């Protein structure tokens, strides 16, 4: 195992400082009890605890469970062959700087861990590996994928995890490794590979959930659901994020595999890492297939929507054509009926000097004139298919 870098003396813990303050205070009578408050104040909100779990291991078995970072540093110094595994959740800047000073972490890696929002990557700073992972979780209620970020520092005798979300559940990873001390005794790299395996295994439920969503979307597309376009777009964006989480991970794992001979990685860890690489490659291929399928579904949906719009326009055109035909019929019959009305109106005028008033054939002539005009108009409209 590489020699542990020199570390600065750890500062006294908060418990020790409190003890010094108590011992420095002179004996005195207890202070008078405070006057009762008129109303009980609301309890303060629970304080955020950055250190989720911290432990020191020797030969793969936990020998200490310090409550603070300072105690962890002290316990690790007392175990020359030990390994520290520190789990943090949204740590403060001062906590990360104290870890950087103790374990000689590079300032750029610490800055990335503070800012978060990093792409998946693997960087080596001397004897320390800095790994950025993006875990995923499928939310059944919302039918969407949630992504969280995980940073891991791996050194000769320490492993530090910095989570910026609720996933992945590293306590289960720690319990599984503690149940297999032979594997954990291989060092921090074994814990790193277990974390990689947990992140990659967490992709499997997401893949199944997305597959179910795509099946439902295909049904909605052919059913003509108008809201399906928005769902396709949102799921496509999630698949872009999924690709950003899985595709770099393939290269990272192959980079670790390429360094087996150089860094003398144990054969058991080599097999372990190859299995993780196979899983993430399979997941990455599935995600690529999902994105391609969503693109094709979106194209089919656009075609179906276009066909539906064309059918609606055709129906409107047919309705307009039928309406025009009815209007032509009405107009033709109105013109036919207007002819006798016009003749009757003229001959119905009450003028004494009008011609044909004393004509004996005037009435038959008027009737014949009406009939000729009506028949002529009917024949004309019939030839033009208005009737």
pLDDT along the chain (387 residues), means of 10: 42 36 36 48 51 89 90 89 90 90 90 84 89 89 87 92 83 91 89 91 91 89 81 89 89 77 70 86 90 87 78 81 82 82 77 73 82 86 80
Neighbouring C-beta atoms of residue 243, cutoff 10 Å: 15
In this prediction, residue 261 carries a pLDDT of: 63
Task: List the one residue out of 10, 164, 149 whose CA is nearest residue 92.
Answer: 164
**Do 103 and 4 form a contact (C-beta atoms < 8 A)?**
no
∠ Cα 22 25 30 (to 5°): 90
In this prediction, residue 56 carries a pLDDT of: 93
d(C-alpha 300, C-alpha 317), whole Å = 25
Left, alpha or beta for 264 (phi > 0: left; psi -120 to 50: alpha)?
A: left
- Give me the residue label for tokens 């919302």: 142
Task: List the one residue out of 132, 129, 110 whose CA is nearest residue 248.
Answer: 132
In this prediction, residue 228 carries a pLDDT of: 82
In this prediction, residue 154 carries a pLDDT of: 92
In this prediction, residue 84 carries a pLDDT of: 93
In this prediction, residue 178 carries a pLDDT of: 92
* Radius of gyration of the chain from its Cα atoms, rounded to whole angstroms: 43
Strands (E), 140-229: 144-154, 158-163
d(C-alpha 87, C-alpha 148), whole Å = 16
In this prediction, residue 301 carries a pLDDT of: 81
Return phi, psi of residue 361, to 5°: -90, 10
In this prediction, residue 49 carries a pLDDT of: 65
In this prediction, residue 18 carries a pLDDT of: 35
In this prediction, residue 206 carries a pLDDT of: 92
């Amino acid at each position: 195992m590489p020699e542990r870098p020199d570390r600065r003396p750890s500062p006294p813990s908060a418990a020790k400082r409190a003890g010094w303050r108590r011992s420095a205070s002179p004996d005195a009578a207890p202070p008078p009890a405070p006057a009762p408050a008129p109303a009980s104040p609301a309890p303060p909100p629970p304080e955020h605890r950055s250190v989720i779990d911290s432990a020191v291991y020797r030969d793969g078995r936990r020998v200490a469970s310090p409550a603070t970072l300072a105690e962890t540093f002290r316990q690790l110094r007392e175990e020359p062959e030990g390994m520290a595994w520190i789990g943090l959740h949204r740590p403060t800047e001062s906590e990360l700087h104290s870890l950087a000073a103790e374990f000689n972490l590079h300032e750029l890696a610490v800055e990335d861990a503070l800012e978060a929002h990093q792409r998946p990557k693997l960087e080596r700073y001397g004897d320390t590996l800095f790994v950025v992972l993006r875990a995923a979780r499928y939310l059944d209620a919302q039918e969407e994928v949630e992504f969280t970020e995980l940073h891991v520092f791996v050194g000769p005798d320490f492993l530090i995890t910095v989570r910026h979300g609720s996933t992945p559940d590293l306590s289960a990873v720690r319990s599984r490794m503690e149940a297999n001390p032979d594997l954990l005794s291989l060092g921090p790299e074994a814990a790193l590979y277990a974390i990689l395996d947990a992140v990659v295994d967490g992709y499997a439920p997401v893949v199944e959930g997305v597959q179910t969503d795509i099946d439902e979307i295909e049904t909605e597309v052919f059913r003509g659901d108008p809201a399906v376009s928005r769902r396709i777009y949102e799921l496509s964006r999630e698949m872009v994020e999924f690709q950003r989480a899985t595709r770099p991970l393939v290269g990272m794992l192959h980079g670790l595999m390429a360094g087996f001979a150089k860094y003398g990685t144990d054969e058991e860890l080599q097999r372990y890492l190859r299995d993780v690489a196979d899983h993430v490659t399979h997941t990455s291929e599935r995600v690529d297939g999902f994105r391609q399928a969503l693109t094709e579904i979106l194209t089919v949906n656009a075609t179906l929507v276009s066909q539906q719009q064309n059918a609606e326009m055709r129906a409107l055109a047919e309705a307009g054509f039928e309406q025009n035909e009815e209007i032509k019929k009405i107009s033709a019959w109105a013109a036919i009926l207007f002819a006798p009305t016009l003749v009757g109106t003229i001959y119905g005028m009450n003028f004494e000097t009008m011609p044909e008033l004393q004509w004996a054939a005037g009435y038959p002539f008027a009737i014949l004139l009406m009939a000729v005009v009506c028949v002529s108009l009917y024949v004309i409209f019939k030839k033009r298919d208005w009737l």
